[in-house]
Amino acid sequence: MLEPEMVANRKLRLFTLYADFPAGVRAKRLSGQITRLAGKDWEPSVEMWKLDAVSPIGHIKDMIAQEAGEADVLLIASSASAQPEPATIRWLNSLAGWKAKRPVSGLLIGLLGDEERAAGATDWMVTELALFARRTQMDFVWHRAEHGALDHGDWLAAGVENLLARKRSASARPPAPQLPPDGASVQPRGSAAAK
């Protein structure tokens, strides 16, 4: 039987932010591919939010930001990749602190464009996502969301496999030693104080 800590490490947390309904449908399909790539050794937890729903203030905004910040996989889906979407970047920037504190660097996935608007490597959204990934030390993969693009997950497999390898490695490390509270002294075994 696995220890509770090992079970927690076998969770694969996915968080999706989508800008429009068609992008959300494609993102849901891609989330299914990610969980299939991960296999049955990983328990998926999938959250999806529409961009205009994550802008409330206060506790809900903080809770959503924490969930996204702690996610292993952050999936951004938008049908428009060439035109600026400042709201998406503001939201991503609000996660930078959460992402920097993660013990295992995550995977950022961009699913961009649609059948009518093919995304390109120099598009605004691709560039901004790459900058965010670099700043938060996440791996970054992206793909055009044109017809049939999600039928083959080869572009995605290496990113997911690298993430899972990092998570396995982190869960195999022994836990860090617990430090005594401030002001407490540690006596070696067999010392006069220990007798």
55 pLDDT tier (thresholds 50, 70, 90): low
- Residues 85 and 19: their CA atoms lie apart, in Å, by 9
Closest C-alpha to 133, from 106, 156, 111: 106
Mean pLDDT, residues 172-178 taken together: 60
Give me the CATH topology for the region 4-174.
Rossmann fold (3.40.50)
pLDDT of residue 97: 78
Find out whether 38 and 6 touch, Cβ atoms under 8 Å: no
Element holding 62 (H helix, E strand): helix 59-70
**Sign of the CA dihedral running 128, 132, 135, 139:** negative
Closest C-alpha to 42, from 4, 7, 5: 7
pLDDT of residue 31: 94
Whole-number average pLDDT of the chain: 79
* CB < 8 Å & 24+ apart, contacts of 174-182: 175/5
170 pLDDT tier (thresholds 50, 70, 90): confident
In this structure, how many other beta carbons lie within 10 angstroms of the beta carbon of residue 21? 10
* Residue 146 identity: E
- Residues 114 and 137: their CA atoms lie apart, in Å, by 28
- DSSP 3-state of 12: strand
Closest C-alpha to 38, from 166, 150, 129: 166
Answer yes or no: is pLDDT of 33 > 80: yes
pLDDT of residue 178: 53
Find out whether 79 and 23 touch, Cβ atoms under 8 Å: yes
Cα-to-chain-centroid distance, residue 175 = 23
Answer yes or no: is pLDDT of 177 > 70: no
Answer yes or no: is pLDDT of 67 > 80: yes
Mean pLDDT, residues 95-107 taken together: 81
Tens-place pLDDT, residues 114-153: 877 777 676 888 889 999 999 988 999 998 876 666 666 6
- Residues 106 and 75: their CA atoms lie apart, in Å, by 11
Query: Which stretches of the chain are assigned E, i.e. beta strand?
Result: 11-18, 43-50, 73-78, 107-112, 139-144
Structure tokens at 143: 């793909």
- DSSP 3-state of 195: coil
